[in-house]
Structure 1
Amino acid sequence: MIIDALLRDQYSINAARKIAKLADSCLNKNARDRPTMNQVVEILKQAIQDSQKGTNSVNNNFGASGSKLGKKNPKLR
């Protein structure tokens, strides 16, 4: 993952990974495989919380509990 060096220590690496995975999932050709806007908002909220906490835990489904995102697209698990 490439991140601007000027942002060093201003974000959680796990939050950056979540956002990168989210961006990738938004680029799926099939609209059914893309997250809904509600899911996007929840994932971004979780990433912000992770950054604020400075958490290092990896949550491969972006913290969207019960969301269809992880179920629809196995590569996001």
Structure 2
Amino acid sequence: MIIDALLRDQYSINAARKIAKLADSCLNKNARDRPTMNQVVEILKQAIQDSQKGTNSVNNNFGASGSKLGKKTQVEVI
């Protein structure tokens, strides 16, 4: 995941992961595999709430495991 350096300390890593996963799911070729707009709104609301809680900021979670697939998430701030 690549994140703009200007956003440093202004988001939670969990919120960034949720939004990235959401964006990826919206790109599925099969429309049935894409989230509905209601699901998109709910996921975005949850990401905003996570961000406002200020938990799991990018500073303390570089390379933390967080995907459902168990892959290591790498965050690159540019």
| Structures share fold, TM-score greater than 0.5 | yes
- Normalized per residue, which structure has more helix? 1
Where is the strand percentage greater, Structure 1 or Structure 2?
Answer: 2
**Taking structure 1 as reference, are residues 23 and 63 closer, same or farther at Cα in structure 2, changes over 3 Å only?**
farther
- Structure 2 stretches lacking a partner, 5+ long: none
8 Å CA contact 1:19, 1:47 repeated in 2: yes
Which protein has greater RCO, CA pairs closer than 8 Å, 6+ apart? 2
TM-align CA RMSD: 7.5
Stretches of structure 1 that go unaligned for 5 or more consecutive residues are none
- TM-score in terms of structure 1 length: 0.72
1:9-46 Cα offsets, whole Å, 9 max, x none, are 00001100000000000000000000000000000000
Partner of 1:42: 42
Task: Count residues with an aligned counterpart.
Answer: 75
TM-score using structure 2 length: 0.71
Runs (4 or more) in structure 1 with deviation over 4 Å come to 57-72
Partner Cα separation in structure 1 for residue 21 and residue 14 of structure 2? 11
Quick one: percent identity of the two aligned structures?
96
